[in-house]
Amino acid sequence: MGCLDGQDVTPDIAIRPITLDDIRAARERIAGTVIRTPLVKLELGPDFPDIRLKLENLQPINSYKLRGAANAVALIPSSERARGVWTISAGNAGQGVAYAARKAGIPCSVVVLETAPLAKLDRMRALGATLIPVPVNEAWAAMGARAYPGMHGVFVHPFDDHDFITGHATMGLEILEDAPDVSTVIAAVGGGGLLVGVGSAMKALKPDVTMVGVEPETGAPAARSFASGSAQDFPEWAPTFVDGAGGRMMFPRMWERLQPVADDFMVVSIAETTRALRVLAEKSRVIAEGAGALSLAAAFKRSSDRGPIVAIVSGGNIDMSVFGALVCAP
């Protein structure tokens, strides 16, 4: 396997559907590591849609990524554990794998984007991970190749991994139990694993739920892929405080995974995301990172949707200086 111009070239790893049996088994497997996060109504008055917030920022690592990481690490055979585990991450997947690896007594390394926020870098180090900072292009290329020079051990892909995605799918079970009348679920898209996971649970149990992916205007390959009908790159990508979503490309394998479960994709502006971040802080006292606010920014634009809209607040790992500047700016 390898990587050509950052493109995903790993067709030898079979893609298979995520079943309810898979999801329910994962739920039991990770129960001692993740928490069942609350689903709370955002009270904004009659002029706004009925929005519920799935607060994954309250996980032990302040990100939903712990669900997938806990499941993937738990499934590493005992014969392989001494080799260690590694991943590639902008911060949250790295924290998740590091947290799960530390709990299992497995060494962990993270090839980390050098643009990752300091808060995420500090948390990964505190969890015992060895960090290898690399440029963004190099990291995306390594994701396609599933390899990086000098890295050994078991590789856990930060989104294109069946067990990782299945862990995320456990969130869908919780949403349906707490809001059985949900009509729309909105999730930020970076690699696409969150939307695939939650969408797999939703489509199995309530097929009429509308699954929506959302990206920032500075990185929207999924929306571009949806418009064109095939996996697309986003060469005009630009870094912003929305560091956990909005990638440079849609991996063809992830596009294949997304098609059966995703109904729509949206793009929101950085200004709209900033507004959503402020609303979360002011109305719900929620600290969200940029990617965590994308779903609310999109929900504000879907006032015609029937029934409750669930906006997944995917994480809250943001440098406090950045957060303060964003919520307090005039």
Q: Taking residues 219-243, report their average pLDDT.
A: 96
In a shared domain, residues 213 and 301: yes
Q: Taking residues 237-248, report their average pLDDT.
A: 92
Identify the bridge partners of residue 264 per DSSP, sorted by sequence position: 212
pLDDT at 49: 87
**pLDDT tens column, 123-168:** 999 999 999 999 988 998 999 899 999 998 999 999 999 999 999 9
* 3-state SS class at 210: strand
Query: Which of 69, 88, 191, 84 has the alpha carbon at shortest distance from 132?
Result: 88
Q: What total number of domains does the chain contain?
A: 2
Query: Which of 78, 108, 82, 81 has the alpha carbon at shortest distance from 96?
Result: 108
In a shared domain, residues 83 and 139: yes
pLDDT at 12: 53
% of the chain beyond a pLDDT of 90 = 85
pLDDT at 1: 29
The pTM (predicted TM-score) of the whole model is 0.92
With 50 as the cut, is the pLDDT of residue 34 above it? yes
In a shared domain, residues 298 and 215: yes
With 60 as the cut, is the pLDDT of residue 5 above it? no
Angle between helices 270-284 and 290-299 (to 10 degrees): 90
With 80 as the cut, is the pLDDT of residue 66 above it? yes
In a shared domain, residues 206 and 317: yes
* Domain end point (choices 116, 139, 155): 155
In a shared domain, residues 167 and 288: yes
Gap between the Cα atoms of 292 and 315, Å rounded: 5
pLDDT at 4: 33
% of the chain beyond a pLDDT of 70 = 96
User: How are strands ordered across the β-sheet holding 264-268?
Assistant: 39-42, 51-55, 309-313, 184-188, 210-216, 264-268
Q: Give the domain extent around 148.
A: 66-155
- More reliable by pLDDT, 48 or 138: 138
In a shared domain, residues 196 and 278: yes
In a shared domain, residues 196 and 91: no
DSSP string, 75-113: TS-GGGGGG-EEEEESSHHHHHHHHHHHHHT--EEEEEE
In a shared domain, residues 202 and 117: no
Q: Taking residues 198-213, report their average pLDDT.
A: 98
Q: What are phi and psi of 258, to 5 degrees?
A: -70, -35
In a shared domain, residues 266 and 168: yes
* Domain end point (choices 104, 133, 155): 155
Taking CA atoms, 96 is separated from 62, 144, 168, in Å, by: 9, 20, 12
Q: Taking residues 19-46, report their average pLDDT.
A: 96
Q: How many CA atoms lie within 13 A of 316 on its CB side?
A: 17
Scan for tokens 């959503």, then name that residue. Answer: 276
Gap between the Cα atoms of 145 and 139, Å rounded: 10
In a shared domain, residues 273 and 290: yes
Sign of torsion over alpha carbons 72, 294, 35, 125: positive
Least confident span in 66-80, 98-112, 293-307: 293-307
On average, the pLDDT of the chain sits at 93
* Domain end point (choices 123, 155, 187): 155
Gap between the Cα atoms of 55 and 307, Å rounded: 19
Taking CA atoms, 167 is separated from 28, 34, 83, 275, in Å, by: 10, 10, 23, 30
Tokens representing 62 are 């302040």
With 70 as the cut, is the pLDDT of residue 3 above it? no
Q: What CATH number corresponds to the domain at position 177?
A: 3.40.50.1100
Q: Which residues of 190-221 are buried (b: 16+ CB within 10 A; e: fewer)?
A: bbbbbbbbbbbbbbbbbeebbbbbbbbbbbbb
In a shared domain, residues 48 and 90: no
With 50 as the cut, is the pLDDT of residue 9 above it? no
Least confident span in 4-13, 93-102, 111-120, 244-253: 4-13
Residues 313 and 286: beta-carbon distance below 8 Å: yes
**pLDDT tens column, 176-198:** 999 999 999 999 999 999 999 99
Q: Taking residues 281-295, report their average pLDDT.
A: 97
Tokens representing 172 are 């869908």
Q: Taking residues 247-256, report their average pLDDT.
A: 93
DSSP assignment, residue 249?
B
Burial class (CB in 10 A: 0-12, 13-18, 19+), 74: middle
Residues 33 and 70: beta-carbon distance below 8 Å: yes
In a shared domain, residues 177 and 303: yes
Q: Taking residues 215-233, report their average pLDDT.
A: 97
**pLDDT tens column, 77-120:** 999 999 999 999 988 999 999 999 999 999 999 999 988 888 89
